[in-house]
Amino acid sequence: MFHPTVFDNIKVAIENQIYDYDNLDGILVVTDRSDLLNMALMSREFSLSFKLIGGLKVTSEIVLNASTKDLNDEILDAPDTNPGCNLQLRFYTQVHDIPSQCPAIESILHAIWGPDLHPIQALSFIYGEEGKGYNNCIELQFRRQITEEQMEDIPDLLQHLLQSAEELEVI
């Protein structure tokens, strides 16, 4: 019989809550979903993207991944290991005034997530359309692995994610 991994259990918990926010609560719309198995590396990655209802500027994405080592340690019950997965949160938006908007984004995310989680902002533009604004991919990477011990934290994590998306909408 199939025994779900930590990755599977956390993925299902996140996915269920996000789809409840979509289908039952009507506070967001899921815009993309990806569940990948990298056959070359034997790793897993799951991502779920959404926009808030009424939100026009920000797309939020949750990315969960497990490496070969993580999966191997768990499946083979390797001694002295604590298998888990890595979690990243991303926000995609447009900025037009880099000197004011980027520091404001950083300030908002620091206020919600605390100073230990440093947002990385990557700006890009389409060649020939430089004056129309910049695409901003804002990423929050958790430094430690997520395990089943943090399952109870998922609702709070998702509330912080929703709050971040709401506040980034007004930048």
**What confidence tens digit (pLDDT) does each residue in 63-87 have?**
999 999 998 888 888 898 888 999 9
Mean pLDDT for the chain overall: 94
pLDDT at 128 over 60: yes
CB within 8 Å of 14: residues ≥ 6 apart = 46, 48, 62, 64, 154, 158
- Which pLDDT score, from 0 to 100, does residue 1 have? 44
Predicted local confidence at residue 74, as pLDDT: 87
Q: For residue 114, give the DSSP letter.
A: -
- Cα distance between residue 142 and residue 164, in whole Å: 16
Count of beta carbons in the 10 Å neighbourhood of residue 39: 7
Read off the pLDDT band of 2 (50, 70, 90). Answer: low
Give the mean model confidence (pLDDT) for residues 111-121. 95
- Dihedrals φ, ψ of 7, to 5°? -55, -50
User: Is the pLDDT at 3 greater than 80, yes or no?
Assistant: no
Mean pLDDT of 17-39: 96
Angle at 116 (CA atoms; ends 123, 124), nearest 5 degrees: 5
Give the chain's radius of gyration (CA, Å).
17
User: Residue range 141-166: average pLDDT?
Assistant: 94
CA nearest to 165, candidates 68, 27, 65: 27
CA distance 60 to 164: 9
